[in-house]
Structure 1
Amino acid sequence: MHQLQPSRPSLPLPSLEELTASARVVSVPMRVRFRGVLVREALLVHGPAGWGEFCPFLEYDDAESAPWLASAVEAAWHGFPEPVRASVPVNATVPAVGPAAVEDVLSRFGAVGAVKVKVAEKGQELADDVARVAEVRRLLPAAGIKIDANGGWTEQEALDALDALSRFGLQYVEQPVADIAGLRAVRLELRRRGAGILVAADESVRRQEDPLRVAREDAADLLVIKAPPLGGVRRALDIIAAAGLPAVVSSALDTSVGIRAGVALAAALPELPYACGLATVSLMAGDVTEDSLVPRDGQLPVRDVVVSEDRLEGFAAGPDRTRWWLERLGRTHAVLVASRQDAPA
């Protein structure tokens, strides 16, 4: 049975006053709708090691948001582990657009060797997914293609869809169904059919104990990991090691500040068998830096991000939204403090 090894001590947590003193809230429009989001809001904090990004999605409660704050604190106050590679391979990401829009989306990513395509969008049909993936394959005949259903299919819908999409040569499918039991069922059925499509767990590995359960129940071939929901880069590295499954690092629709944490995680992994989903700044119509972390020849460099004061002001959220985020910061900080007080010595 997989067990999480004794974790390193929690990194020191700055006071709420320290966090609030440097906090800046931004609202950045998206070029296309992604995960239902047209405007991405985030709270940035600055500490001795640089900038950190706190951007749990709006529907997340305070307890679910607490690891995201720990991740931002790690970035801004403590920095990242030493990398084992100088750059990270990344894939392009194609949202649930029509086939006519695929070429324009891909053009924003430059030369890439892999593409992740969103499927199972609410209000769309399997035919829409087939047309989108077919267009990606037509435009990039040699690229590795992975699809992401965000848990949008039932088990039978997933198997039917994968049967229809398998002719395009898929590397793997992310989160075809919503729960871990369903992932296992789909994975085992694909194996029985000899389909050759790997199953990746994404939404099913959002809490620290989830990757271990996925591995224990033989529910996935690999993990799609975001650093913030797991509490930061160091904590994510511990959890991936304990799970014993290959990992792909993905973004949470971050600005370049948040992408820097994802790059740090991917750069520190001992093995990185697939391109990562960290090129999503290309989907945004703005950023907080003049030198965005966007790919060149399918790679993101391991480097720091210089935040621009002009950009912070240009994308500053309005007073009501700023107040909302600062109140959320206060509540989440209290949850994080309480969780550390309750932890066994």
Structure 2
Amino acid sequence: MKAFLLGIILFTSVAAGLRCFTCDNARSMFMCAFQGRIRTCHNNQDSCETVVRRVGKRLVIIKRCKQKQACVENAKRQFAVSEFGFVECNTDQSNAVCTCCCQTELCNLQPHACTGMIFPCQERNAIENGAVTCSANNRPRSVCKFECRNPGFFIRPVRSSETTCRATGEWDRPKPCCARACPPYLPNDIVFVRQASTSEAWDEFKRRVVTIMGEFNVGSESALPGIISYDNSSNVRTGNVLKYLLEDYFTTANGDRNSVRNVIVLQADNASSDDVSAPADRLRKAGHKIFVIATANSSNPEYYNQASAMVGDQKQLYIQQNPSDATYIQDLVRELCDDPCQPDSNL
């Protein structure tokens, strides 16, 4: 019977939640240990938090239960540099606050001072046709330097040839790649999409595509283009076309290359009758880049709202002043070459 009761007591204690040591506004770790108590946290509090605040020469210690995400976000924010160059968690300023988080039973019981947490960045792996060397692997303040080792390849973007791991666990610049000079090399699968109100507009669009692709090499080591025409009726459904591109066009069965970026260059004469924002957002989140060419003579405000919503980045929206206006072409070529790297989650 005693063994059975003990089993129930232990089970109840574990099921009730994490246990943390708690104290409130203690003047030292000794006073925190003397005045504090062990507390069973609520079920949604999965972390023990220690906060050390320094105001002049006075210390204030707080230990408590906390949600893990909130605790970690507080700790990271205290390492972020403010617009005035101030870091909250520091050792040489009169006003400072540092937070430490842990997630095991009574893990904050020991009277150790909290001087902040260590947030490693994601590891920087070598890049294709190149190499990387890091001063301290993926630890904060580690500096990683990238170089290209094959002739004819260059680091892009140039500013990312050297990246530093911030104290918040994020790299200060995106991971670069080794790419050939662009133009003429453009490692993209690119589709040109046109909703033309007249056959003349469609013919003019095809001529513009030839001009744009004339800037680049076309082939398996560079750009592979496609072209689509849709909806010259009064019921334009651009959102449906974007959904088709995501779910059917950009697939390996249709020859899509996983190793390169997918690009959409879309021009429509009329506003869409269906939603374009949601499918465009899904495309961008999947790593696809969208450029939109809009006409300047539309009287429908929704037309411009939709064009703006599709690109996300307004640098990728071009306004064509009249049907013969081709000034956007060089800007488009420049933007296509701006970042030839395939999107990488290892930022």
Instruction: Give the TM-score range, shorter chain.
Output: under 0.3
TM-score by length of 2: 0.26
Higher strand share: 2
Q: Which has the higher contact order (CA 8 A, sep 6+)?
A: 1
Higher helix share: 1
TM-score by length of 1: 0.26
